[in-house]
Structure 1
Amino acid sequence: MKKQLTFLLFITVFALKSAFAQEIPKELENIISPEINKDGTVTFRFLAPKADSVQLTSDFLPPVKVKTRFGLQDGPGTINLTKDKNGLWTYTSKPLESELYSYAFMVDGVRTNDPNSPYALRNSAALTNVFIVGNGRADLYKTNDTPHGTVTHCWYPSAGLKMNRRLTIYTPAGYEQSTDKYPVLYLLHGAGGDEDSWSAHGRAIQIMDNLIAQGKAKPMIVVMPNGNVVQDGGYGQGKDGFYKPEFLLPRSMNGEYEANFMDIVNYVEKIFRVKADKQNRAIAGLSMGGFHTMHVSRYFPNTFDYVGLFSAALMPREDATGKVYSNIDATLKTQKDNGLKLYYITIGKDDFLYQNNVDFRKKLDELGMKYEYLETGEGHIWKLWRIYLADFAPKLFK
């Protein structure tokens, strides 16, 4: 009798465990989100049994108009996830083109990141998850099995800004083993960013490694400075520690940065093995960094042979009253007369800065200054700036 009871108890426990296992699927123990499927679709999952709604917001969804300080702009769209009986919400996209995408969830109207993915990037004060769909353009943004360069963080002395300031610097594969000297690209970030923006959002390290390995770009050093003159280092990296990021910090576009830019160049040319002449220097930047690029390159008009303006913020500014911003036409003419290998301008047709760039090109036309122009679709987004860098870098130092 005792043996029968033990057997019945075993059967009961086994049955309960089996029933429980059927109610709680194994996938809940290890939720994969996002999951890149073989057909190019992407599946997102979020466990929230008590939530009434879960939505996905991402830049691969049809955009919606959002109000910003610059007027209406395109923002990421949203779509509803579907809830199963276990409280697991899911959504599978259509096949996506090869790209790096960002996304977040909205749970009962509250924005949250994906608890199942640690891959997230900060832009200003917002943290957003990211994923890559390969087999195309975004393979350039991956860490592939190629020779890799080195990324270092250096602190340069700026006498004009009265502080030591942090730089992110990429040296190409083989730099440490050689005695060669290299050309230099100075690559500037936009508002809300810092010296880590191009290496994080811009995937500049992967882009340069892959272009160089493919023989499409010459080996070069890439210097990524901090364009916010009130900071010694980016958020969480400087003396002020952890504090809430701002979109546009004070004094970032008042001329101080441009006037003291040669502190960066002089440091780089002292510490690194570089070809320290005009034909081996390039400067480029996005948005605010494009504004800085335009002004730095004409304020020091015999310094850079290659200039790149990516969605440049070329609108007039009330605080642009210093010496750096005087005699713009005259200094542009001097820059032209000194000779340039490449003056490159590119922007999306839906960018809120589009008309400012049209007006600037008219100015260059009136001055007889030659430039290369690339117009794309879409607006003011990192997707385009990665494309622009990948197009610009192979044109350098030819």
Structure 2
Amino acid sequence: MNYKSIIYLAIAFTTTIGFAQTNPIKVVEDFKPSSVNQQGKLYPQVNSEGRVRASISAPQANKVQLDLGGVKYDMVKDEKGVWTGESLPQDQGFHYYQLNIDGASVPDPGTVYFYGAGRLGSAIEIPATDQDFFAMKDVPHGLVSENIYFSKLTNSFRRCFVYTPANYNEDTKTRYPVLYLQHGSFEDETGWAVQGKANLILDNLIASKKATPMIVVMDNGYAYKPQNNADLDKKVRPESVFEEVVINEIIPMIDTKFRTIANRENRAIAGLSMGANQTMRIMMNHLETFSHYGGFSGTSNYPSTDAIDVNTFLDGKFKNGEALNKKITLFWLGLGTKEPSPFPGSVGAFRTMLEQQKIKYKYYESPGTAHEWLTWRRCLNQFVSHLFK
């Protein structure tokens, strides 16, 4: 390389650096407060690109970050001690996040708090192009009631939330089919009614006559056999009795307390992620109780992506495809197109097994969504439209 070439290269490099410094990435300044902010709070905000802007007053802090989607974004402090910063564009949908202040992760005081990731914390709603199906509309609305009961199997008080369709209390003669709907890992019985907007999805579908009016029961998937002091001292992992709680306590209670059509033909069970695993096992162990199944982002072979041995999987419950087709009215699976590994592989292996056994099922993919609530809202919307037809 000659002298002139070096000079030209140096000039070009300097010009490029100067251009980058004077022309940073332009952020579209049309930020609006998030739809899940606490009343009167201006932050966090979302813009048309899907960027999230957070702001918090922390004059004594040395470093504050916005922790969203597995990435920590540095925030900048102004002369008043207010830290502000924004993320890169996020996918449409509902996302948990937190703020990191001098190494401590805390909820953003600007948002409503949701139980997810094993804690009460903040979340952001990136507006979806198809959000109309779970929007609040001027249609007849059902009721979500809190039902507290004592579980002898867990020796504890538990609760479930029950959706009853519009006019349930006015029309006291009509009886309804029931969907038992479960949350995922590190979430609880509030998930579907709050993050999932299940009641609004049902209200809109029923009002448009795209779904059969039904009761929906949302319970807590964490149910354990009581432990003695020795087990507690040894930190022995508790034994799950959720299946027994569903079959022996929840269903009898719901059939007694609500106007249900108490037979298998009018009873469905579904869940997301961990809940998909749980409900599939419950369904296959109790085909005398359920006739409809929905699995959102999960199956009972999770996390394995290996080929399924139909002779041993769930004690051979899927061996006789012809018999299952006569018993199961609807077997439904859903998955986001951006789901992380191993979900696509494990669901794919399960579908292969169903097809090899000639078991009828319906499959849906949520475009552009990962392992999160927009995927599961869309799954519920599609699944419910096929139930009890």
Superposition TM-score, scaled by structure 1 size: 0.71
Hey, what does 1:167 align to over in structure 2? 160
Q: Distance in 1 between matches of 2:118 and 2:363?
A: 32
Amino acid across the alignment from 2:54: F
Larger CA deviation: 358-367 vs 291-300? 358-367
Q: How many Å apart are 1:85 and its aligned residue?
A: 2.3
- 1:279 is matched with which residue: 265, 273, 281? 265
In the superposition, relative to structure 1, how do residues 149 and 231 fare at CA in structure 2: closer, same or farther (>3 Å)? farther
**Gapped runs of 5+ residues in structure 2?**
1-39, 227-236, 304-312
Candidates 357, 370, 376, aligned match of 2:360: 370
Query: In 2, distance between residues paired with 1:250 and 1:383?
Result: 32
Shift of 1:313: 4.5
352, 361, 382: which is aligned to 2:373?
382
One of 183, 191, 204 as aligned partner of 1:189: 183
Cα drift, residue 217 of structure 1: 2.4
Structure 2: distance between partners of 1:87 and 1:31: 18
Question: Per the alignment, in what secondary structure is the counterpart of residue 363 of structure 1?
Answer: helix
Contact (CA 8 Å) 2:53, 2:85: kept in 1 or not? Answer: yes
Preserved contact between residue 183 and residue 274 of structure 2 (Cα < 8 Å): yes
- The answer on 1:138 being equivalent to 2:131 is yes
Distance 2:90 2:185 in 1: 29
Say whether residues 1:335 and 2:324 are aligned partners: yes
Q: Which residue of 1 aligns with 2:238?
A: 250
Q: Which of the residues 83, 87, 94 maps onto 1:89?
A: 83
* 1:332 Cα deviation from its structure 2 partner: 6.6
Cα gap change, 1:387/1:351 in structure 2, threshold over 3 Å: closer, same or farther?
farther
Q: How far, CA to CA, are the matches of 1:296 and 1:327 in structure 2?
A: 14
Partners of 2:183 and 2:343 lie apart in 1 by 16
Please, which of 326, 345, 351 is the counterpart of residue 333 of structure 2? 345
Equivalent residues in 2 for 1:199-348 (5 A)? 199-230=193-224, 250-252=238-240, 256-263=241-248, 264-315=250-301, 325-330=314-319, 334-338=323-327, 340-348=328-336
Secondary structure at the aligned position of 2:238 is classed as coil
Q: Which amino acid aligns with 1:360?
A: F
CA distance in 2, matches of 1:124, 1:288: 13
Matched residue, 2:310: none
For the residues of structure 1 that align with 2:371 and 2:90, how far apart are their CA atoms? Answer: 20
Number of positions where the alignment pairs a residue of Structure 1 with one of Structure 2: 327
Distance 2:174 2:80 in 1: 61
Aligned to 1:64: none
Deviation of 1:31 after TM superposition, in Å, equals: 6.3
Tell me what 1:49 maps to. Answer: 59
Can you list the C-alpha shifts for 1:102-144, whole angstroms capped at 9, x where unaligned?
Answer: 3221223321222233x01122533321233447333444444
Where does residue 243 of structure 1 map in the other structure?
none
AA matched with 1:329: F
CA distance in 1, matches of 2:281, 2:377: 22
Shift of 1:382: 2.8
Q: TM-score, normalised by structure 2?
A: 0.73
1:71-108 deviations in whole A, cap 9, x for unaligned?
Answer: xxxxx323222332222222356776753333221223
Alignment of 1:106-185 (within 5 A): 106-117=100-111, 119-134=112-127, 136-156=129-149, 165-178=158-171, 179-185=173-179
For the residue of structure 1 that corresponds to 2:56, the secondary structure is: strand
Is the contact made by 2:283 and 2:293 (CA closer than 8 Å) also made in structure 1?
Answer: yes
**Partner Cα separation in structure 2 for residue 38 and residue 315 of structure 1:** 39
Q: Which runs of no fewer than 5 residues in structure 1 stay unpaired?
A: 1-29, 60-75, 233-248, 318-323
